[in-house]
């Protein structure tokens, strides 16, 4: 009961309360491994936190200080939801900061083959989030994305492998699942852009071979 009382502090966004990542880890652990009322109440707290409009501002602290992979994945779910539903409402500087933050995390996890293998579920979620950002930013606000990713792929084989995965996820979004996800005009524009960039993507494939 004491834990669930502490968990309520996670929902306080007035700037006065400290966001305790250790408490969040404990709540996540209770949801996954607890029983009965404790598990149910932990789930309710996590659902309320995930739906809070300012929850995304805690994601970087969670990812930095959490000792639990499930908690980190939960934090990425919060960020993904924000990008999908509120990206256009966020200030431009915040959007750019989120974009750079996700890119830096992907680079740090894909440069190291051992880390990439050990945390592949986490990295895959980062890749998915980047693709969600690209659906808003590319190509108009991020015209050099394909060139950037091809150039970065030359630095390490593991990064190249993950960058191909990002392109695969992007192409699936654009070509296979665009129906209902974006306007027809937007989907066509992304398809045309990707086709125009095919030479660069092919160079990346050649680099792998």
Q: Please, are residues 23 and 12 in contact by the beta-carbon 8 Å criterion?
A: no
Q: Is residue 193 part of a domain?
A: yes
Tell whether 78 is covered by a domain.
Answer: no
Does 122 map to a domain?
A: yes
| Domain annotation covers residue 77 | no
Tens of pLDDT, residue by residue over 86-144, are 999 999 999 999 999 999 999 999 999 999 999 999 999 999 999 999 999 999 999 99
Query: How long is the chain?
Result: 209
Report CA dihedral (73, 76, 82, 87) to the nearest 10 degrees.
-160
Q: Is the pLDDT of residue 178 over 60?
A: no
Question: CA-CA-CA-CA torsion for 24, 100, 150, 176, nearest 10 degrees?
Answer: 60
Cis peptide before 139 (omega within 30 of 0): yes
- List the domain range (segments joined by +) for residue 101: 91-208
What Å distances lie between residue 205 and 85, 142, 153, 177, 208, CA to CA?
33, 22, 10, 23, 5
Per the CB < 8 A criterion, the answer to whether 174 and 194 are in contact is yes
Per-residue pLDDT of 37-65, as tens digits, reads 999 999 999 999 999 999 999 999 999 99
109 within 8 A of 119, measured Cβ to Cβ: yes
What pLDDT band is residue 16 in, cutting at 50, 70 and 90? low
Residue (of 164, 67, 146, 63) closest to 110 by Cα position: 164
Residue 124, pLDDT score: 97
In a domain, 45, yes or no: no
Q: Is residue 104 part of a domain?
A: yes
CA distances in angstroms from 4 to 40, 53, 125, 158, listed in the order given:
11, 21, 28, 42
Q: Report whether pLDDT(207) > 70.
A: no
Residue 62 lies in a domain: no
In order, the DSSP letters of 112-138 are SHHHHHHTHHHHHHHHHHHHHHHHHHT
Domain assignment present for residue 75? The answer is no
The H or E element spanning position 169 is: helix 157-171
Q: Are the C-beta atoms of residues 80 and 128 closer than 8 Å to each other?
A: yes
Q: Whole-angstrom Cα distance, residue 44 to residue 51?
A: 11
- For residues 116 and 158, is the Cβ–Cβ distance under 8 A? yes
- Counting the structural domains of the chain, the total is 1
* Rg of the chain (C-alpha set): 19
Stretch among 29-38, 82-91, 109-118, 182-191 having the lowest mean pLDDT: 182-191
């Amino acid at each position: 009961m004491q834990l669930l009382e502490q968990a309520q502090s996670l929902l306080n966004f007035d700037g006065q309360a400290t966001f305790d990542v250790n408490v969040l880890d404990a709540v996540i652990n209770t949801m996954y491994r607890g029983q009965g009322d404790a598990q149910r109440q932990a789930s309710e707290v996590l659902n309320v936190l995930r739906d809070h409009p300012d929850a995304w501002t805690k994601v970087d602290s969670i990812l930095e200080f959490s000792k639990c992979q499930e908690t980190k994945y939960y934090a990425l779910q919060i960020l993904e939801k924000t990008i999908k539903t509120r990206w256009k409402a966020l200030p431009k500087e915040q959007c750019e900061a989120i974009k750079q933050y996700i890119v830096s995390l992907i680079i740090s996890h894909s440069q190291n083959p051992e880390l990439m293998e050990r945390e592949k579920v986490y990295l895959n979620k980062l890749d998915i989030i980047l693709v969600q950002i690209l659906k808003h930013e590319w190509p108009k606000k991020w015209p050099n994305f394909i060139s950037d990713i091809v150039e970065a792929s030359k630095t390490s084989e593991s990064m190249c492998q993950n960058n191909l995965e990002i392109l695969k996820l992007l192409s699936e979004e654009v070509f296979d699942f665009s129906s209902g996800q974006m306007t027809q005009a937007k989907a066509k524009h992304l398809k045309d852009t990707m086709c125009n960039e095919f030479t660069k993507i092919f160079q990346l494939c050649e680099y792998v071979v």
